[in-house]
Structure 1
Amino acid sequence: MDIRLAELKDISQLIRMRWDFTVEHDESKKDSSFEDFKQECQSFLEKAMNSDQWFIWVAEINGQIVSHIYIELIQKVPRPGRITYPFAYMTNVYTVPEYRNKGIGSDILRTVNKWINENNYEFVIVWPSEDSIHYYKKNGYVSSTEPMEYVPSKD
């Protein structure tokens, strides 16, 4: 197994995995247009991979991406008297169903955690599903107070 940062050549696999991840959790989405989604996701991934803001970690076995974790760096406003490091927002954590419960997700998460430490990022936030809380806890994550949010009206 190879754990590495995603490359442009991985985009088609990442698009398919994002589609599968979404449909797995909300079957009503399978009636959406895959072609429309593919175009939007392709554009997003190309921009993300060419930026210093997004880092997409993948676990690959025999040329197939079987797991991934997306990290977006969030820059913080500098404060006097200290060096300011960004924090990381973790999202789109997914392992292909037939590769689950084999330690692959934990392997890729440990790689991400090591990278976070090596780069002095301040912390990582993730909003886990109810089913994934154990996965994060066994990999060193702790629960925190829910953030507040504002949702603009769609009037």
Structure 2
Amino acid sequence: MELRLAHEKDIDQLIKMRWDFTLEDYPEMGEGTEYSTFEKECGDFLEEAIGSGEWFIWIAENDSRIVSHIYIELLKKVPRPGRITNPFAYMTNVYTVPEYRGQRVGSKLLFKVNEWAAEMKYEFIIVWPSESSIEFYGRNGYTHCKEPMEKHFR
């Protein structure tokens, strides 16, 4: 199993995984949606993200197949006098294909991401876990923080 950052050659697999991940949890989202339309939008996003230096897509690959991924977006903070201002990381789109779950693939990938974030001196990683993933993050050293506030526009 290889743990690494995604490259452009991985985009087709990442698109399909995003599609599968979404429909696994929200099957209704696929109704009336053409895969080709999603494929174009997601492909454009991934192409830009991979080369941006602001998004980092970590993957676990087994025999040329991506079996797990974690997306990280860096968020820069406004500098403060008297301290070095490091960005923090927003983690999203954490997914392991069903047949690899329960084999610690996701935990190994998350450990690699945590190691990388510490080496890069990011201030912290934030994630909004689903109810079903709270235990996974807890096992991997994540703790609850106060809920952020939000304003919806739709």
TM-score, normalised relative to structure 1: 0.97
CA RMSD of aligned residues (A): 0.6
Q: Tell me the residue number matched to 1:143.
A: 144
Q: For 1:16, give the aligned amino acid.
A: K
Q: Which residue of 2 aligns with 1:15?
A: 15
Mapped pair 1:60 → 2:81: no
- Stretches of structure 2 that go unaligned for 5 or more consecutive residues are none
Query: 1:15 aligns to what SS in structure 2?
Result: helix
**Structure 2 CA distance for aligned equivalents of residues 140 and 27 of structure 1:** 31
Paired position in structure 2 for 1:111: 112
Alignment deviations for residues 75-122 of structure 1 (CA, whole Å, 9 cap, x no partner): 000000010000000000000000000000000000000001001100
Shift, 1:69, TM fit: 0.1
Cα deviation code 1:2-30 (max 9, x no counterpart): 00000000000000000000000011122
Q: Distance in 1 between matches of 2:141 and 2:120?
A: 18
Give the Cα separation in 2 of the matches to 1:10 and 1:67: 12
* Residue-pair matches, total: 153
- In the alignment, is residue 124 of structure 1 matched against residue 125 of structure 2? yes
Matched residue, 1:24: 24
CA distance in 2, matches of 1:39, 1:54: 19
Q: Look up the match of 1:75.
A: 76
Task: Give structure 1 stretches of 5+ with no counterpart.
Answer: none
| Deviation string, structure 1 residues 33-61 (Cα, Å, up to 9, x no partner) | 11110000000000000101000000000
| TM-score w.r.t. length of structure 2 | 0.98
CA distance in 2, matches of 1:136, 1:64: 24
Q: Distance in 2 between matches of 1:40 and 1:57?
A: 20
| 1:128 partner amino acid | P
Tell me, in whole angstroms, the C-alpha distance in 1 between the residues paired with 2:72 and 2:21.
17
